């Protein structure tokens, strides 16, 4: 079952994310997926996230589907030309994958194979249009397909993009091209997100607010400095820093810490409660902290 029924319902939608491993040990990832399964409507599987070479999204979606967990295949335009993108979409459908999130993809120079040739034969808007065409029974050249898929297509937007008007223009194109749901880049300011949602009130497809779990004050500062479109307010950084100090003290005294984890969960839950009246759902990006997602959702009252 694709995400479509839940998108069309009144349910507050929750999706999360897993990142395939660098190497073939899938144990940890599948444990995470098992944990998430009863709590979320879908689990995104990243596609060579941050351009750091790893197991592929399609292959990882398959065992997740076998767990009766609903995978969302992330597909980036960085590594495949139009032949491979279309072929992989059809292949994904054969493997039982019904949801696809279409993205541009981080540039190779940000990853661990900096000399890789970037492809970007299609962009994310074009990929959405092509995928919708496959749903309609033809490839991008208009050739008829023998048996067609029925993907539920998703797209992303960066509410903190500069300027946001440019992001919204592209978002409109993505919806026009076939996106049925939107997951946003990480946001940490409920008021700013509220303003963004007002600006996109004409967008009728569900928007899920993105939340990256903060692991430390250092990580928050790193994102502020290095991840375009993501801004963690100073107040949240201070809370994480204080928790970090408390953990240090506890460790020095030979006690168990856990303050940073607790504050991270608390912040994510506050954000979810803040976003809930503003949009149709949330998309959690735990970045390896998938085992904390149950507590986040519990604290958020979901």
Q: Enumerate binding residues for another protein (CB under 8 A).
A: 77-78, 82, 104, 106-107, 109-110, 118, 120-126, 129, 140, 156-158, 161-163, 165-167, 169-170, 172-173, 176-177, 185, 226-229
Instruction: Name the minimum Å distance from CB 244 to another protein.
Output: 26
Instruction: Name the minimum Å distance from CB 177 to another protein.
Output: 7
Instruction: Name the minimum Å distance from CB 65 to another protein.
Output: 28
Question: Measured from the CB atom, is 153 or 243 closer to another protein?
Answer: 153
Tell me how far apart the alpha carbons of residues 193 and 159 are, in angstroms, rounded to a whole number. 7
Tell me how far apart the alpha carbons of residues 211 and 283 are, in angstroms, rounded to a whole number. 6
Tell me how far apart the alpha carbons of residues 43 and 56 are, in angstroms, rounded to a whole number. 15
At which residue do the structure tokens 């999706």 appear? Answer: 15
Which tokens is 244 given?
A: 């970090």
Tell me how far apart the alpha carbons of residues 214 and 211 are, in angstroms, rounded to a whole number. 9
Question: Measured from the CB atom, is 106 or 266 closer to another protein?
Answer: 106
Question: Measured from the CB atom, is 107 or 276 closer to another protein?
Answer: 107
Question: Measured from the CB atom, is 78 or 283 closer to another protein?
Answer: 78
Contact 108, 77 (CB under 8 A): no
Question: Measured from the CB atom, is 103 or 267 closer to another protein?
Answer: 103
Instruction: Name the minimum Å distance from CB 78 to another protein.
Output: 8
Instruction: Name the minimum Å distance from CB 241 to another protein.
Output: 22
Tell me how far apart the alpha carbons of residues 75 and 92 are, in angstroms, rounded to a whole number. 11
Rg for the chain (alpha carbons), in Å?
19
Instruction: Name the minimum Å distance from CB 127 to another protein.
Output: 9
Tell me how far apart the alpha carbons of residues 75 and 148 are, in angstroms, rounded to a whole number. 19
- Which 3 state secondary structure label does DSSP give 211? strand
Q: Which of 276, 97, 114, 134 is nearest to 193 (CA)?
A: 276
- Which 3 state secondary structure label does DSSP give 245? helix
Q: What is the DSSP letter of 111?
A: S
Q: To 5 degrees, how large is the angle CA 71–CA 106–CA 61?
A: 15
Tell me how far apart the alpha carbons of residues 280 and 84 are, in angstroms, rounded to a whole number. 33
Instruction: Name the minimum Å distance from CB 130 to another protein.
Output: 8
């Amino acid at each position: 079952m694709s995400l479509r029924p839940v998108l069309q319902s009144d349910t507050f939608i929750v999706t999360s994310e897993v990142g395939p491993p660098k190497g073939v040990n899938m144990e940890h990832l599948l444990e995470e997926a098992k944990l998430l399964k009863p709590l979320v409507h879908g689990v995104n599987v990243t596609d060579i996230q941050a351009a750091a070479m790893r197991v592929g999204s399609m292959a990882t979606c398959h065992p997740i589907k076998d767990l009766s967990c609903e995978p969302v295949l992330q597909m980036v335009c960085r590594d495949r030309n139009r032949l491979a993108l279309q072929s992989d979409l059809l292949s994904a459908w054969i493997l039982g994958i019904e949801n696809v999130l279409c993205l541009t993809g981080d540039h190779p120079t940000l990853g661990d194979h900096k000399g890789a040739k970037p492809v970007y034969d299609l962009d994310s808007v074009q990929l959405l249009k092509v995928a919708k065409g496959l749903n309609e029974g033809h490839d991008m050249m208009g050739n008829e397909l023998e048996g067609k898929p029925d993907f539920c297509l998703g797209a992303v937007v960066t509410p903190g993009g500069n300027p946001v008007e440019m992001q919204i223009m592209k978002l409109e194109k993505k919806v026009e091209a076939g996106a049925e749901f939107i997951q946003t880049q990480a946001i940490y300011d409920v008021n700013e997100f509220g303003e963004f949602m007002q600006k996109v009130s004409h967008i009728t497809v569900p928007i899920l607010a993105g939340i990256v779990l903060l692991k430390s004050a250092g990580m928050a500062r790193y994102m502020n400095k290095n991840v375009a479109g993501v801004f963690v307010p100073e107040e949240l950084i201070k809370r994480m820093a204080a928790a970090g100090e408390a953990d240090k003290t506890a460790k020095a005294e030979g006690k168990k810490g856990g303050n940073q984890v607790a504050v991270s969960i608390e912040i994510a839950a506050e954000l979810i409660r803040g976003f809930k009246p503003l949009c149709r759902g949330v998309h959690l990006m735990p970045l390896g902290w998938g085992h904390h997602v149950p507590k986040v959702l519990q604290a958020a009252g979901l």
